[in-house]
Structure 1
Amino acid sequence: MTTETRSTPTPAPDPDLLYSEDEEALRDAVRALLTDRSDPATVLAAVESDVPYSPTLGSARAGGAPSALWRSLATEIGTAGLLVPEKLGGAGASTRETAVVLEELGRAVAPVPYLTSAVLAVTALLGCDHEDAEVAGALTALAAGTTVGALAVPLTTAPGGPPEPTVRAAADGTLTGRVTSVADAAAADLLLVPAQGPDGPALFAVEAAADGVRTERVTPLDLTRPLAHLTLDGARGRLLATGDRAREAVDRALLTGAGLLASEQLGVAEWCLAETVRHTAERTQFGRPIGSFQALKHRMAALWLEVASARAAARNAADALAIGSPDAPVAVAVAQAYCAPVAVRAAEECVQLHGGIGMTWEHPAHLYLKRAKADELTLGTPGRHREALAGLVDLGAP
């Protein structure tokens, strides 16, 4: 009689939701830079200017040398290359560190192309062959911060099997098609374009200034994250990946972007909560700070609990992506399904408890409300992520 032996699956490690000393040091550096050069009042003045895009958002294509803010953030602090391997000029860090940067960028609603260039574009390239000179060169340029990249998909595209590309690739590598609502496309130097080629899906690199490339700026709800429609008319592309590898590279970029977007939403919510607490502690009515009234205390306490839970969800997603956990899609879906509504609710409470002042241009609260609402649609709505989560854990339709 033989006894059947079964291997016991190795349990996944417990998530690490705490911040390391290095992560806190990175946070301090990024927060100090943003406080000095991109505080909410500065961002508010920038989006009200006649310049089509904020002067803090610069690239070689948009006006010569990169802007001072982007140069300091991307190059001097080195955040643009956090996800890039050291051998290609990056820091060789993980999504945990990148999440810390996005928390601070969300807290400042900073109009920089970090999510689009340092996360989406970099992660898509990391899914290609690093030994390929084209891929390695693009990663090195993005890590240096001298090149701004953009993944040419609509900003609302969710992970979990991106739709069939709207761009067609000919056998000679020329691309034709149109992609709508691409974030930071007008400021990008390098476009990563998913396309349908003669032999299936493919991913191409296209110089944004090349012949046959046209960007049409559109006015987004969130003026701190510019959108543009991208039209390719016989533009020359350089092949990066084909087949399943191209499809998986794009989907991995979308998954990573969605997971790290939760940290940006956390930063938005944290600023709104802190600003609301500050305001209600200073504004008096009937001889008392309005924050001492029980009804407002309860509202802010409930919001604090939601923000604390959002922090746990966002950190769990960043940690799962960092360690390559097989449960990363579940963690990302949970984070997006929870953090997006919390950011919106925190921004709405900020406006409400400021007595409606956030509906005027004089206070930056409306910037956070618009960022939160736009982020709620970015890389999949909460409903889309709840639906994905139900499928991932075999719950059926939500």
Structure 2
Amino acid sequence: MKKIKGLRWYMIAMVTLGTVLGYLTRNSIAVAVPELERTLHMTTEQYSYIVAAYSAAYTVMQPIAGYVLDLLGTKLGYAVFAVLWSVFCISTAFAGSWQGLAISRAAVGAAEAAMIPGGLKASSEWFPAKERSAAVGWFNVGSSIGAMVAPPLVVWAILVHSWQMAFIICGALSAVWAALWIVFYRSPKQHKMLTDEERTYILDGQEERLKDDKAQKASVWQIVRNRQFWGIALPRFLAEPAWGTFNAWIPLFMHQVYGFDLKQIALFAWMPMLFADLGCVIGGYMPPFFQKHFGVTLIVSRKMVVTLGAFLMLGPGIIGLFTSPYIAIAMLCIGGFAHQALSGSLITLSADVFGKNEVATANGLTGMAAWTASTLFALVVGALADKIGFSPLFAMLACFDILAAVAVWSILRDAPANLEPRAVAQPA
């Protein structure tokens, strides 16, 4: 069989495409909400319940999805969840009320909970430690590409046919990807098209805890009682509401505050996501840059990226100082870049400190913390947006990200997690 050089980058490209389609299904409702408000007579507060339903299901399923991925393996586990979210997205087209939308979107959220843990698990299998942040940056870019593609695609489907067609198209695309994933994905040890040189490069560059397929899997209790877990989980709890707000509320923000119609939303709502793409990619290359030029360790380099992203989040935090919609969009672009650079480093830290057979579980648990906050903040936005406006809410998000940077420096140690059965979490 013909060998392919640089096969690891083809594998991460497949992960990226899966993330694109997952976020396309997720963001489709955010773009369609002005039309849904008109046709289903839905209020802003009722829309917040739909967002919260998705987030709550995603939150509860994060550790479960991570556990299933570690149990079934990356190939089969990810494919099962992708098929499920495609089916549930299509089912959204049959909802006739905001309650029906909430149920179908909760099902989508439950299935998509495997998306980030699955991508991280694939990255930990296919990349040496020094390239892992770049790999995570590239697959994480799919989240913002999906959000960027959603406005023009969903608006086109609504204008040409109906809002129902938008959900059918998005779901069908994910089903096609799941079939391709089953056909082409293999681990480095099993892939026959991987050159011997690249296989050696990948495996020799990984930490010992990521090489052992038969290593004992740590329990959930061992993971959550470890200090390193909380050094990732708490910052993710503080930072995630920003990304949840960007994905679910920017189109409605532009519609309510600046009077944008569907065509204007299609023209402008994708821009912050383009800068989020840049944040994913550039943020992924920042840690090795900091290591090379500042002589810091791997984990410290991740903390530096988190800190930079947190301070850049001050951009959307001051959005209330401007009346121009174009300046507001520029501030949101800065925020998109900042959050995705920050988020990529926080996600990668799970692979930096946890072993091969618990990395998806650990990431799922930190994701649960993150999405708990995102769910709660969605309800806050729904309750307060019509009363106090969006500007104070964006300012709150900036403050949360600064606190996240403080937390990651204060709690996370520059060492792998010690998850031996009799290990005791290190004292603060």
TM-score (norm: length of structure 1): 0.33
Larger Cα-atom Rg: 1
More helix by share: 2
TM-score (norm: length of structure 2): 0.32
